[in-house]
Structure 1
Amino acid sequence: MLAGIRTFSKSIFAKIIFGVIALSFVIWGLNASMLNLGTSREVAEIGSQKVTPVELDRAFQRSVQNMRNVFGPNFNQQQAIQMGLLNNTVQSLVSQKVLREDAKVMGIGISDDKVRDTIFASENFKDPTTGQFSRDRFLQALYTAGYTEQEFIEGVRGDLMSQQVVGSLTGTAAVPEMMAKQIVTYRNEQRSGSFFALNGAEFDDIAVADDATLRKFHEDNAAQFTAPESRDVTLATLSAADLIPTISVTEEEIADSYKQREAEFQTPEKRVVEQILFAPGDEQSAHEAYKKLQEGADFMATAKEAGMDEGMVKLGEFTANDILPDLSAATFALPEGGYSEPVETALGWHILHVTSITPGSTQSLDEVRDTIVDGLKQFKAEDSIYDLAAKFDEELGAGTPIEDAARDVGAKTYKLSGVVRGEGLAGENIDSADEINAKIFELENGEESFLEETGTGTRYVVRVENITPSALRPFEDVRDDVIPAWKADERQKQMLAKAEELANTINSNGADLAAVASEDGAEVMESGLTKRTGQGLGDNVNPAVAAALFTLEDGKAKAIQTGEDILIVRLDNIKVADAQTADASMVSNELKSAINEDILSQYLGYLRDEISVTVNNTVINELFAPTAAN
């Protein structure tokens, strides 16, 4: 069953939504002018259509479930929000509605027969034995994917409407065959060559230049020796973490908290479940199969006789809360290895088989005492921080110096020197240092911030005491840094000059590459037959070698730099692709897709100006704030 559902994610409805529509929301996007914080309780309004909170919630939960299939069952809603999945879901729904609204304005309609035929044509809903549409597979797939039947049907209808619009725009894109073949020929040309790395040992001992040369290098490479702008600041921070060491908890509080949180420390019983499913109304077949099982028939063989494949039989591992509610009681009443009598649900008649049981357990108070204590202290600290922050803000607002206001509320004070943009807080281990650093560089000299709050809840206020502008460090101060930098630069210049001389010897005099390499104490290596992309290069061959081969004439050589190495590369062979026999279908499809994307992008840009779109962030935040806070 699970394998069938994964296949379903690639089926007709998923293809419509995540093919055409996914493209459209990436191009469409949302911008500030489209946001609205009015009194509407809808998530979004697109012309005459709406995205309701229920619709967004269901779509988002489906997206989260899809991510769990990738990252595992511990992937949660908060992680999804942090990854931007909620925002993507909103944009996807808006984009769907935009195209549907456009189709509606044009008077495009999709008949019930067309919707039915589209669903019936999906291979994922067909019985593997008969090849005909199976309502059982259809309903199971929808249930697992999180769709109601009506929701899915209307989704297919809406997206078929959208496809009418998109198809009329993109269906005529054509690519000249000869152009596609020329591109394939260009891509498929292969070349091979030989090369060696210049022996750098003779360049290791470079004498130090005179000060005049070093000074010029210092000036010519000023950016390398320029001190960035830095700032001296006074900073005060107030966080729950700072308060935790001052907080104590009683045994009574610990016991009460354990009682309240006991469910967190319980591992629920899990059961691996298999099922045989019969169609609604086919109770007789279900009871006949149950009788066979009681008489010793094999469960999987009986399921196959009923037309089910292994993927539909093996449901996986469940807790009592995970499995379909109508099946929970029967499943968790069975012993390990037991079969249930037929159970009726909206999907039909089920016979359940529990193949293994993992017992539940509960951790004792002693086992989780540290967790309980830490949680209580954290709660008390977070509870106290609001009052302290309010007092801190009040004192700062009254003109109390940062140092005095911080002392009154127990905030930490720092005097920081040499803070550089983007480099934290001068080596101090302070929470949210990057956020505070960014705020420091928003202020002018002598300016003080408001009481700010970081993303992790730390309150802070900062005052800029002094700004030291960016400036080139005097040569005398950085001479010891200039010397090794000049040597490294000079070494590369000398190596490259010699390499170019050797390459010229090969090109002008026809010198043998192997002989030139031998004289330099180097070993010749082969590139392998490679394409422009580097496909086919030998092991440990730098991709720059492939790039060089496609700039050379046959038999010619050139010097290239790859990191600290200098290579002399010679082109030995060119294998031209045959334009007449080249398969250009893939390139044609790529070009058609690119043309279609451009056309669709232009059209969606037009729709953005024609169709009113508003998105209500207030409703979205209210809908998901409780989850985001956990």
Structure 2
Amino acid sequence: MLAGIRTFSKSIFAKVIFGVIALSFVIWGLNASMLNLGTSREVAEIGSQKITPVELERAFQRSVQNMRNVFGPNFNQQQAVQMGLLNNTVQSLVSQKVLREDAKDMGIGISDDKVRDTIFASDNFKDPTTGQFSRDRFLQALYTAGYTEQEFIEGVRGDLMSQQVVGSLTGTAAVPEMLAKQIVAYRNEQRRGSFFALNGAEFDDIAVADDATLRKFHEDNAAQFTAPESRDVTLATLSAADLIATVTVTEDEIAESYKQREAEFQTPEKRVVEQILFAPGDEQSAREAYKSLQGGADFMETAKEAGMDESMVKLGEFTAKDILPDLSAATFALPEGGFSEPVETALGWHILRVTSVTPGSVQSLDEVRDEIVDGIKQFKAEDAIYDLAANFDEELGAGTPIEDAARDVGAKTYKLNGIVRGEGLAGENIDGADEINEKIFELENGEESFLEETASGTRYVVRVENVTPSALRPFEDVREDVIAAWKSEERQKLMVAKAEELANRVNTSGTDLSAVASENGASVKESGLTKRTGQGLGADVNPAVAAALFTLEDGKAKAIQTGEDVLVVRLDEIKQANVETADAQPVNDELKQAINEDILSQYLDYLRDEISVTVNNSVINGLYAPSAAN
């Protein structure tokens, strides 16, 4: 998902409409004091500016379409709302308006010529052959992104105004040369070392300590041997899945359901479409091109002569519902390989060609019978569950014991012992086990819940019968566990002590590391020339080795632990970075960006107090109620 978002951020629309500066303000916060517009029907008011429901809808749909380009055509509005895209769209619009309001307050204006020059200068709208602005590419790009020409122009104008403000704040930011050089030197220093691991098997033979030592270890490490609080409960569940086996389905119901769902079992015809697009009003050129095609001219060559490259000609595969409505009839009237007469739309004049046709198909009732039957049973069970749940709730409310109320409505009952927080329901495969577990630990001993519902629709009621408090397990019950834990700790202590002794030999007497390793039945490995980040380490070298190398003096060794292994590491080489030849530009850019972000953050804090921002959540929820409810 993040890769898809980064891809979009590099698109022409993110660069031209929002720009790097506008995107950096998407994090504008909307606090509780800003969420009040009374009876206004606007989405938001920012100073003298407004965000209308139409403006939000168009911006949100563009965002959804951009996500479809990343995740495929099945990405829908509900998914967009759930992943926070609606909220991001609102905040992005607010951010743009805030900066534009500030620019307006300052009296900053952008001329039509400046807007035109900015658009004309964009490489994304230039003909790749001539290098000149192409109106056809411009209009095609706007159509693909869902913008009207006026929306795009005003968006560019607004961002140019914002850039005037931001540029005046950040344009003078400078990075101290000495600071940049020190960071380059620190990051680019490289070190090489060698190391070996102690043979753990040599430390396995550890005699068991006496009971006094073990009991003290048991007390000192009580958390390892403490039993968590547990609860015994009575649980009753009622779900549609439990009722499905009792549901019957008639042939008439199957036939009627198939009729109602017939569209689900139809695969629409698809066509791969190409086009030659001429500017609005240029019907004559379109007609001339059409005559050339009738005379046998090559479609792609004709398109190139009209100033289009292959990527603009090949539109892709469409169903009748997917393609631009004004082009649908002409496209789906063509035979495979055929091309159309010029067709006019708001974008200009199109000549269409269908290069391949994938016929539609319909699954018969017999092919989908099982799916139909399962669907009817599920529907009937879910329909019945509402009445049963109401009866269940009524009986529980009247004081009927869980067991009796469950029997009357056909609910399942469970006696569960030893339930531990966060560990489900004692191994029982029950829908919503984690949710029910959480509810159990909200109750007091002897308390009974209301009739609750899991996220997937299972109704349940639970009563806590007994609570066993968290307590240290008696030493006698966990003696073997204590012995194992004590031996493991002693083993690590012995290994570390041995490794420190060997490292000290290297450091004080200059003993060669290979000789020390050989004495201990180990072989030396090389770390590779590495930076502090571990870049350059050998494939099987633990990153802790790199960290150790950058704490040592040249030729010195130390002991380190990496999980259960204990290593002796020696620093063999230090390769200082040459700050005169190293590329400091990335560091300069990074530091400058950090300084600018800090300046802009402080300026945003100032604008937060100076410019009134109110967001009307009731309007937003009203526009997207079905999705927002999910």
Structure 2 letter corresponding to 1:496 = V
Following superposition, the deviation at residue 211 of structure 1 comes to 1.8
Q: CA deviation at 1:559?
A: 1.1
| Cα offset, 1:83, TM superposition | 2.6
- Distance in 2 of aligned mates of 1:122 and 1:550: 47
Task: Indicate the residue corresponding to 1:174 in structure 2.
Answer: 174
Alignment length, in residue pairs? 624
What pairs with 1:245-394 in structure 2 (closer than 5 Å)?
245-394=245-394
Tell me how far 1:169 sits from its aligned partner.
2.8
Q: Distance in 2 between matches of 1:35 and 1:245?
A: 49
Structure 1: how far apart are the matches of 2:452 and 2:409? Answer: 16
1:476-527 deviations in Å (ceiling 9; x for gaps): 1111222222222222111111111111111111010111111111121111
1:410-429 equivalences in 2 (<5 Å):
410-429=410-429
**Is the contact made by 1:446 and 1:463 (CA closer than 8 Å) also made in structure 2?**
yes
Find the counterpart in structure 1 of residue 18 from structure 2. Answer: 17
2:432 alignment counterpart: 432
CA spacing shift, 1:617–1:103, aligned 2, 3 Å = same
Q: Which runs of 5+ in 2 are unaligned?
A: 1-6
What is aligned with 1:623? 623
- In structure 2, the partner of 1:192 is 192
Partner of 1:493: 493
For residues 166 and 517 of structure 1, the distance between their equivalents in structure 2, rounded to whole angstroms, comes to: 61
Q: In the alignment, residue 483 of structure 1 is paired with which amino acid?
A: I
Residue 447 (structure 2) pairs with residue 447 (structure 1): yes
Contact 1:12 1:122 in 2 (8 A): no
Task: Name the CA distance, whole Å, in 1 between partners of 2:398 and 2:101.
Answer: 55
Q: Counterpart in 1 of 2:232?
A: 232
1:621–1:422 distance in 2 versus 1, CA, 3 Å: farther
Instruction: Assess if the C-alpha contact under 8 Å between 2:22 and 2:95 holds in 1.
Output: yes
Q: Which amino acid aligns with 2:557?
A: A
Deviation at 1:110, TM superposition (A): 3.0
Q: Distance in 2 between matches of 1:401 and 1:47?
A: 60
Q: 1:258 to 1:40 in 2, by over 3 A?
A: farther
Cα distance in 2 for partners of 1:73, 1:588 equals: 42
Structure 2 length normalisation: TM-score? 0.93
Q: Which amino acid aligns with 2:182?
A: Q
Cα distance in 2 for partners of 1:206, 1:16 equals 70
Change (3 A) 1:40 1:541: same
2:200 and 2:495 in contact (8 A); partners too: yes
SS of residue in 2 equivalent to 1:502:
helix
Q: How far apart are 1:533 and its partner, in Å?
A: 0.8
Does the aligned pair in 2 maintain the 1:8–1:124 contact within 8 Å? no
Q: Give me the identity figure in percent.
A: 86
Amino acid at match of 1:408: D
The structure-2 alpha-carbon separation of the partners of 1:141 and 1:412, relative to structure 1 and needing over 3 Å to count, comes to same
Q: What is the letter of the counterpart of residue 574 of structure 1?
A: I
Cα distance, 1:109–1:305 mapped onto 2, change above 3 Å = same
Which residue does 1:132 correspond to in 2?
132
Unmatched tracts of structure 1, length 5 or more: 1-5
Are 1:8 and 1:141, in contact at CA under 8 Å, matched by a contact in 2?
Answer: no
Cα distance in structure 1, aligned partners of 2:424 and 2:39:
41
Q: Which moved more, 1:220-229 or 1:39-48?
A: 39-48
Provide, for residues 383-418 of structure 1, a one-character-per-residue CA deviation record: whole Å limited to 9, x for no partner.
Answer: 333333333334434444333333333333333222
Tell me if structure 2 keeps the 8 A contact 1:558–1:570.
Answer: yes
CA distance in 2, matches of 1:417, 1:376: 37
Aligned to 1:526: 526
CA distance 1:42–1:395, shift in 2 (3 Å): farther
CA RMSD of aligned residues (A): 2.4
Residue type matched to 1:75 in 2?
F
Instruction: Work out the CA distance in 2 between the residues paired with 1:451 and 1:605.
Output: 47
Q: Deviations over 1:544-580 (max 9, x none)?
A: 1111111110011111111121111111111101223
Structure 1 residues 148-204: Cα deviation after superposition (integer angstroms, max 9, x where no partner): 222222222333333333333333322101111110111011111111111112122
Superposition deviation, residue 12 in structure 1:
6.2
Kindly provide the amino acid, as one letter, of the partner of residue 328 in structure 2: S
Cross-structure match for 1:404: 404
* Helix, strand or coil at the partner of 1:569: strand
Structure 2 contact 82–628 (Cα < 8 Å) conserved: no
Q: Distance in 2 between matches of 1:311 and 1:330?
A: 21
Q: Does the 8 Å contact 2:81/2:627 carry over to 1?
A: no
Counterparts of 2:315 and 2:301 in 1: how far apart (Å)? 16
Alignment partners' CA distance in 1, 2:314 and 2:41: 42
Cα distance per residue 1:37-59 (max 9 Å; x no partner): 95544434444433333333332
Counterparts of 2:193 and 2:284 in 1: how far apart (Å)?
75
Deviates more, 1:309-318 or 1:104-113: 104-113
TM-score by length of 1: 0.93
Matches within 5 A, 1:440-479: 440-479=440-479
| Correspondence for 1:3 | none
1:362 Cα offset (Å): 0.7
- Mapped contact 1:13–1:156 kept (Cα < 8 A): no
Query: Cα–Cα, structure 1 residues 16 and 324, in superposed 2: closer, same or farther, change >3 Å?
Result: closer
> Could you say if the C-alpha distance between residues 414 and 113 of structure 1 is closer, same or farther in structure 2, counting changes exceeding 3 Å?
farther
5 Å-filtered alignment, 1:74-89, equals 74-89=74-89
Tell me which moved more, 361-370 or 160-169.
160-169
Give the Cα separation in 1 of the matches to 2:252 and 2:297.
57
